[in-house]
Amino acid sequence: MKRTRSSEASLSMETKPESEYDVFLIFRGSDMRLNFTDFLYRSMVHVGIRVFLDSEELEDGEQISEVLKAVNESRICIPIFSQNFASSSWCLYEVACMVECISKSDPKKEIIPIFYDVKANDVKLKTNLYKKAILKHKEKVGSDELERWESALVEIGGRIGLELLGKR
């Protein structure tokens, strides 16, 4: 499924003109595409929030720089962590980019995690759920990238967010 962008008008007077998006959503498509994420996206667009809704993979011919640009141009990044989030190398890559972009940029930018049927400890790699999933990527991406992903997960898992358990 292709990445989509809201063409709706912006709602906030606080939005800086250089911000193309108010919110950047990242999620594991197979877990979240047609339920919670779709509802959240439509609700935000309905009230005029400009949302970059990202799918889990790049389409042929698309550039990673497009996603990085969207992260940089968003005021708030919302990763929606789910049971299979860490099984996607693309989701892990985006989360690492999100952490790097936010830490290097405007301190007014925020990351607000949503833990959907997972706990913050799963994301912080204190349980086997994400640990096992990440290890499956080791041969494909190497140790350095794996460490980058792990560091990003631990950082975001330590942030205050919304925990939605038992929603499946």
Residues forming the active site: 94
Which of 88, 96, 23, 27 shows the shortest CA–CA distance to 55? 27
DSSP string, 132-156: HHHHTTHHHH-HHHHHHHHHHHHHH
Are 79 and 156 in contact by the 8 Å Cβ rule? The answer is yes
Cα–Cα distances in angstroms (integers) from residue 110 to residues 41, 74, 102, 146, in the given order: 18, 9, 7, 24
Distance between CA 41 and CA 49 in Å, rounded?
A: 9
End-to-end CA distance of the chain: 22
Distant-in-sequence, close-in-space partners of 71: CB < 8 Å, separation ≥ 6: 24, 77, 94, 97, 98, 101, 102
State whether residue 75 is helix, strand or coil: strand
